[in-house]
C-alpha cells in the first residue's frame, strides 16, 4: 500500500480527560484501506523542541465519512501542542505506516489487553475482529479512574474488564493481576501498552502457551525504515519497529 | 532553462542535490514520496565488509532543532548489498554512491575493490567520520596520519570517483581536507555529525545506550556552513556540503559558501520530499536571480567584495 504525505483537516478535537484527546481527521482524497495496528507520523509545527514527527496509532476509521481518529495521550511538548489544535486546522501526516495485527484462527477465544494510551489501536482492531465474526473480551488498565476514557464503543465489541492502580474503578492493581487471567483461558491475546506491561503479558502467554501479538512504541525518527533508530532485538536480528512492526508476535521477540 | 549540472572529475551529476548516507536508506524507502531518479545522486547507507547489528536501543534522542543518533552502522554487509540490494537499485537514473566503512585500512580497501566491480556505482564515499563505532570510523578522520593512510590506500585500489567524508570533531578541519586532497581524493563531503550527548533527567540516565552520539539537524547548520566555507577556499577539488539543510535557503547558503553540491540528511526524516523540494527551489532561485548555470553561484561570496 502506497504511503502518502498529506495535510489533513481536523474536523474534531475532542478532549476526553486531563490526559487524553481524540483528533478526527478528514482526507480530501479517498482514504486507503487501513489495517488494524497501523500508525501515522504526525508533524508538530511551531517549536524547535518538537523537531521530529510523532508516531500515533490509528484509533478508528470511518470510510463512509472518509475520516479516521487518533487517540493521543499528552506526554510531552509535542502531544501538548497537538491537544491545542482547533477544528479546521490542518495537520501534516505520513500514512499509513507499519504492519498490522494478524487475524486469529476460527473459533479462537480472544482477549484484547490495553494499558493507558495502548488502548488506542485496540478499538480499530476490536471493530475489525467483530466484523470478522469474533467476540473478543477486552481488558484495560489505567492509573486511576480519572484517566479512563469513554468505553461505550468498546462495549459494543465485547465484555470490558478494568483495572486501576489505585482501585478507584475496576479491580485494583496492575493489569496482569486481574482475575480474568485466573478464571478464563484464551487462545490469543493482542496487547498494547507500556513496555513493562507488554513484557508481563508476554511472559504470561509464553508460560500458558497462548498466542500473543504486541504493538511496540519505540522511539523513531523517520517511520519509513530509513533511519534505523526504532530497532527491536528479535530472533531475526535488529528489526525496525516502523516497517517490520509495530506489531510483533512474541515468539519473534527476545523477551 | 538553467543548467544545474556539475562534475566531480569525469563524473557528471545532473543537479547538485544528493541525499546523505544513513538518512535515505537505499532509495526504495522513498519511492512512494518522490522520483529518486530526479536527484543528482543518492549516497546509500553506510556499508561494511561484514553484517553489523549496530548499537543497542535507544539509539536516538530528539534535541532542540535536531537529533542525536547512535545507530552504529547497522547494515547487512557488502555480500548482501551486492546480491540483494544492488540489483534492485541499479535501475535508478542517478549517481548511486556507496558510503564505505571499516575498522581497519584493509577493510576500506577491500570494500572499494569490491565496489569498483559494480558498473552502476560510479563513486564511493569514504566514511572516516562515523562517531558511533568503537573501532575505525571517526578514529580515521580525527588523526591526520590515519586520514592520509586510509585515503592513500583506497586511492591506490579504486579507480572511480573517490569522495572522502570528513568529521567536524577536529580542531582544524582544513588540515584534513588538504591531506585527503593531496592523497588523491576527487571530492570532499562534510560535515558528518557532531559528537554530542543528552541525559533523561527523569530517569537520571543518558538518553542513548552509547551515552554519546552524533548530532544532526538545523542545530548544526551554522557550524557546518562555516566548515564548508573554510574547506572550499582551501582545496581545488569539489566540495559537497551538508549539515542541517532543511530548506532551499539552507542549501543555497552552502552553495554560495563554495559547495559544488549539497547532501540532504535529517530533513528527509521529517519531510521525505525535502530533497526534491530543495532541488526545485534552487532552480527557481537561479531563474529569479537571472543565472543560467549553478556554477555561477558556487562560492559566490568568496568572489565578491
Intervals of chain B under pLDDT 70: 304-305
Ramachandran sector of residue B217 (left: φ over 0; alpha: ψ -120 to 50; beta: rest): left
Tell if the CB–CB gap between B217 and A224 is shorter than 8 Å.
no
The grid cell for B154 is 583506497
pLDDT for B131 equals 82
Q: Which of residues 231 through 260 in chain B touch A, CB cutoff 8 A? A: none
Mean pLDDT of A234-252: 97
Tell if the CB–CB gap between A226 and B60 is shorter than 8 Å.
no
Give the containing element (helix H, strand E) for A92: strand A90-97
Residue of A nearest to B60 (CA): A229
**Nearest chain B CA: its distance from A223 CA (Å):** 8
For residue B75, the 8-state DSSP code is B
pLDDT for B305 equals 60
| Residue B84, in any domain of the structure | yes
What 3-state class would DSSP assign to A167? Answer: coil
Domain interval for residue B291: 6-54+72-197+215-303
**Nearest chain B CA: its distance from A253 CA (Å):** 14
A232 and B CB contact within 8 Å: yes
The grid cell for A66 is 472518509
pLDDT for A115-164, tens place per residue? 999 999 999 999 999 999 999 999 999 988 888 888 999 999 999 999 99
**Total length of chain B:** 305
DSSP B26-73: TSGGGTTTS-GGGSSEEEEEEE-SS-B--SPSP-EEEETTEEEE----
| Residue B85, in any domain of the structure | yes
**Cα–Cα distance between B97 and A172 in angstroms, integer?**
58
Tell if the CB–CB gap between A5 and B57 is shorter than 8 Å.
no
pLDDT for B143 equals 94
CATH of the domain at B130: 3.20.20.70
Q: In what order do the strands lie in the sheet with A39-42?
A: A54-57, A39-42, A90-97, A4-15, A20-26, A67-73, A60-62
| Residue B67, in any domain of the structure | no
Query: Of A5, A50, A229, which has the smallest distance from its Cβ to B60's Cβ?
Result: A229
Give the containing element (helix H, strand E) for B268: helix B267-270
Q: Which domains does chain A have, with CATH numbers?
A: 4-97 (2.40.30.10), 110-215 (3.40.50.80)
Total domains, chain B: 1
Mutation choice for A interface testing from B59, B132, B221, B265 by most A CBs within 10 A: B59
Nearest CA-CA partner of A122 in A105, A136, A107: A136
Cα A114 off chain centre by: 8
| Residue B17, in any domain of the structure | yes
| Residue B114, in any domain of the structure | yes
Q: How far apart, in Å, are the Cα atoms of A54 and each of A74, A174, B172?
A: 12, 27, 38
pLDDT for A158-207, tens place per residue? 999 999 989 899 999 889 889 998 877 899 999 999 999 999 999 999 99
**Total length of chain A:** 255
pLDDT for A43 equals 96
Q: Mean pLDDT score of chain A, rounded to an integer?
A: 94
Mean pLDDT of A82-103: 96
Residue of A nearest to B53 (CA): A238
Query: Of B63, B269, B273, which has the smallest distance from its Cβ to A5's Cβ?
Result: B273
Partnered with residue A110 across adjacent β-strands are A188
Tell if the CB–CB gap between A228 and B270 is shorter than 8 Å.
no
Tell if the CB–CB gap between A53 and B22 is shorter than 8 Å.
no
| Residue B93, in any domain of the structure | yes
Amino acid at each position: 500500500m502506497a504511503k502518502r504525505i498529506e495535510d489533513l483537516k481536523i474536523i474534531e478535537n475532542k478532549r476526553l480527560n486531563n490526559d487524553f484527546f481524540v483528533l478526527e481527521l478528514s482526507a480530501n482524497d479517498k482514504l486507503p484501506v487501513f489495517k488494524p495496528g497501523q500508525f501515522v507520523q504526525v508533524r508538530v509545527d511551531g517549536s524547535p523542541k518538537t523537531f521530529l514527527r510523532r508516531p500515533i496509532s490509528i484509533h478508528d476509521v470511518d470510510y463512509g465519512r472518509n475520516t479516521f481518529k487518533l487517540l493521543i495521550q499528552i506526554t510531552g511538548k509535542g502531544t501538548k501542542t497537538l491537544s491545542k489544535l482547533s477544528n479546521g486546522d490542518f495537520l501534516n501526516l505520513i500514512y499509513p505506516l507499519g504492519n498490522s495485527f494478524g487475524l486469529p484462527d476460527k473459533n479462537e477465544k480472544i482477549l484484547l489487553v490495553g494499558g493507558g494510551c495502548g488502548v488506542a489501536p485496540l478499538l480499530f482492531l476490536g471493530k475489525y475482529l467483530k466484523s470478522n465474526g469474533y467476540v473478543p473480551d477486552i481488558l484495560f488498565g489505567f492509573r486511576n479512574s480519572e484517566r479512563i476514557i469513554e468505553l461505550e464503543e468498546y462495549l459494543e465489541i465485547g465484555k470490558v474488564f478494568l483495572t486501576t492502580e489505585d482501585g478507584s474503578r475496576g479491580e485494583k492493581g496492575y493489569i496482569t493481576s486481574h482475575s480474568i487471567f485466573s478464571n478464563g483461558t484464551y487462545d490469543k491475546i493482542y496487547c498494547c501498552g507500556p513496555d513493562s506491561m507488554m513484557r508481563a503479558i508476554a511472559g504470561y502467554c509464553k508460560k500458558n502457551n497462548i498466542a500473543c501479538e504486541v504493538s511496540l512504541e519505540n522511539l523513531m525518527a523517520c517511520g519509513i525504515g530509513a533511519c534505523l533508530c526504532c530497532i527491536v532485538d528479535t530472533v531475526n536480528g535488529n528489526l525496525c519497529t516502523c516497517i517490520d512492526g509495530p506489531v510483533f508476535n512474541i515468539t519473534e521477540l527476545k523477551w | 532553462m538553467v543548467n544545474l549540472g556539475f562534475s566531480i572529475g569525469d563524473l557528471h551529476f545532473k543537479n547538485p542535490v544528493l541525499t546523505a548516507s544513513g538518512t535515505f536508506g537505499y532509495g526504495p524507502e522513498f519511492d512512494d514520496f518522490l522520483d529518486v531518479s530526479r536527484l543528482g545522486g543518492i549516497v546509500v547507507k553506510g556499508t561494511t565488509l561484514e553484517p553489523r547489528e549496530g548499537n543497542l536501543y535507544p539509539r536516538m534522542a530528539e534535541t532542540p532543532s535536531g537529533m542525536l543518533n547512535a545507530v552504529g552502522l547497522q547494515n547487512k554487509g557488502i555480500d548482501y548489498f551486492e546480491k540483494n540490494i544492488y540489483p534492485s537499485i541499479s535501475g535508478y537514473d542517478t549517481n548511486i554512491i556507496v558510503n564505505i566503512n571499516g575498522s581497519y585500512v584493509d577493510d576500506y580497501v577491500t570494500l572499494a575493490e569490491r565496489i569498483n566491480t559494480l558498473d552502476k556505482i560510479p563513486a564511493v564515499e569514504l566514511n572516516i567520520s562515523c562517531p558511533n563505532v568503537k573501532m575505525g570510523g571517526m578514529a580515521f578522520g580525527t588523526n591526520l596520519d590515519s586520514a592520509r593512510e586510509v585515503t592513500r590506500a583506497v586511492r591506490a585500489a579504486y579507480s572511480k570517483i573517490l569522495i572522502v567524508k570528513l568529521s567536524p570533531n577536529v580542531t582544524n578541519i582544513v588540515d584534513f581536507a588538504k591531506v585527503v586532497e593531496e592523497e588523491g581524493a576527487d571530492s570532499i563531503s562534510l560535515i558528518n555529525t557532531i559528537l554530542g550527548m543528552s541525559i533523561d533527567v527523569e530517569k537520571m540516565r543518558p538518553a542513548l545506550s552509547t551515552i554519546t552520539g552524533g548530532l544532526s539537524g538545523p542545530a548544526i547548520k551554522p557550524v557546518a556552513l562555516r566548515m564548508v566555507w573554510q574547506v572550499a577556499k582551501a582545496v581545488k577539488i569539489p566540495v559537497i556540503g551538508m549539515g542541517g539543510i532543511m530548506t532551499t535557503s539552507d542549501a543555497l547558503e552552502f552553495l554560495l559558501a563554495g559547495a559544488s553540491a549539497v547532501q540532504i540528511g535529517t530533513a528527509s526524516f521529517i519531510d521525505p520530499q525535502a530533497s526534491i523540494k530543495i532541488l526545485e527551489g534552487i532552480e527557481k532561485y537561479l531563474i529569479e536571480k537571472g543565472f543560467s548555470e549553478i556554477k555561477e553561484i558556487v562560492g559566490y561570496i568568496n568572489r565578491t567584495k
